[in-house]
Amino acid sequence: MPRRVLSLVSGRISVAILLAIALLAVFGPLLAPQDPLATSPDTLAGPSGGHWLGTDYLGRDVFSRLLDGSRISVVGSLEVALMALVVGAIPGILSVYLGRAFEWFTLRLADTLVALPFLLFAVAVTALLGNGITQAMFVTGALVSPLFYRVARSATLAVARSQYVEAALISGASLGWVVRRHVWVKVLPPIAVALAQTIGVGFVIVSSLTFLGIGVQPPAPTWGGLLASDLGYLSYQPWAPFAPALLIMATVWACNLLADAIRDVSGEAGRALANTRRAAANQKANQTAAGGRA
């Protein structure tokens, strides 16, 4: 499947952007040319050779803060997604096997989490529980988990009730083979789509929380926090929000693009796409052959 995703232009673009962001998260803090926390009297300076993106209201180098802050922002969203995967997928799979009471309870819980005003709960609960990055990831992960719960549950249901799995087992296929051959291809694409989506969503939430100063202690730089500090000085530095906003948007966009690309190459939609392309190609070939017959 990765090869088919990469055969799409959108797939290549999204993977390229996400790779770039990942490199930024790994090496960003090391590449920062200056100490992101060091203040200087040169406040709110414009871009220059010394400060590529200028300085903020305390005279700190914005470019260094951007690079240094990338790790928390990216790792935070990954943690949210993984947390959601664990918190959502496990009860989702178990809900098919552990009896009606468990099923009913987890379904209602998923309903509830979906209906909650997301950011409000994330902010309130994180702040009440101690305002740390761990609390923030845990709370946000739990709030996004219904997506994985549903995906995992429906995939498990499909497999548990499917006759071809039963038929394969009866005809002597090993359990491992069945899982690899049948279960995996059914379960993996929706999980991958959900994961890509969740990383995007998690990224928005982590940025929103850090924007409000929740989940991180103030001096530590984050992309959201950078935007928040720019807000007060818009009349002096109207261009300042551009870089962090662009990074946030590019990341979210790449995640969505990747989710769409995975969806496009798996299942029914992939086939329709191929048909349309082939029809268009044939049409063109015929027209040139017939010399433009109406």
Count the neighbouring beta carbons within 10 Å of the beta carbon of residue 282.
10
Residue among 183 and 260 whose Cβ is closer to another protein: 260
Q: Of 124, 90, 81, whose CA–CA distance to 110 is shortest?
A: 90
Torsion of CA 215, 216, 217, 218, to 10 degrees: -110
Selected range binding another protein among 78-86, 149-157, 163-171, 278-286, rule: CB under 8 A? 278-286
Site for another protein in 129-158 (CB under 8 A): 129-131
Angle made by CA atoms 88, 194, 248, in degrees to the nearest 5:
110
Of the candidate residues 163, 217, 235, 288, the single one contacting another protein (CB under 8 A): 235
Nearest approach, Cβ of residue 132 and another protein (Å): 12
Of the candidate residues 94, 118, 179, 263, the single one contacting another protein (CB under 8 A): 118
Distance CA 125, CA 79 (A): 17
- How many residues sit in the footprint of another protein (CB under 8 A)? 50
Which two structure tokens, joined as six digits, stand for 159?
Answer: 């497999």
b/e code 85-119 from CB counts within 10 Å (16+ = b): bebbbebbbbbbeeeeeebeebbeebeebeeeebe
- Classified as helix, coil or strand, 173 is coil
Nearest approach, Cβ of residue 170 and another protein (Å): 31
Distance CA 208, CA 231 (A): 14
Using rule CB under 8 A, residue 102 touches another protein: no
Using rule CB under 8 A, residue 124 touches another protein: yes
| Residue 162 C-alpha from the chain's centroid | 31
Q: Of 44, 80, 72, whose CA–CA distance to 59 is shortest?
A: 44
Of the candidate residues 245, 263, 264, 270, the single one contacting another protein (CB under 8 A): 245
Of the candidate residues 30, 101, 115, 170, the single one contacting another protein (CB under 8 A): 115
Using rule CB under 8 A, residue 57 touches another protein: no
Residue among 41 and 130 whose Cβ is closer to another protein: 130
Using rule CB under 8 A, residue 218 touches another protein: no
Give the residue carrying structure tokens 């995939």: 155
Whether the Cβ atoms of residue 198 and residue 140 lie closer than 8 Å to each other: no
Distance CA 143, CA 84 (A): 8
Helix H or strand E encompassing 229: helix 223-231
Of the candidate residues 45, 58, 125, 220, the single one contacting another protein (CB under 8 A): 125
Using rule CB under 8 A, residue 256 touches another protein: yes
Residue among 38 and 279 whose Cβ is closer to another protein: 279
Residue among 55 and 208 whose Cβ is closer to another protein: 208
Using rule CB under 8 A, residue 248 touches another protein: yes
Nearest approach, Cβ of residue 224 and another protein (Å): 7
Instruction: List the x/- string, 187-216, binding to another protein by CB under 8 A.
Output: -------------x---x--xx--xx-x--
Q: Tell me which residues touch another protein (CB under 8 A).
A: 108-109, 111-112, 114-131, 200, 204, 207-208, 211-212, 214, 224, 227, 230-231, 234-235, 238, 241, 245, 248-249, 252-253, 256, 275, 278-279, 282-283, 285-286
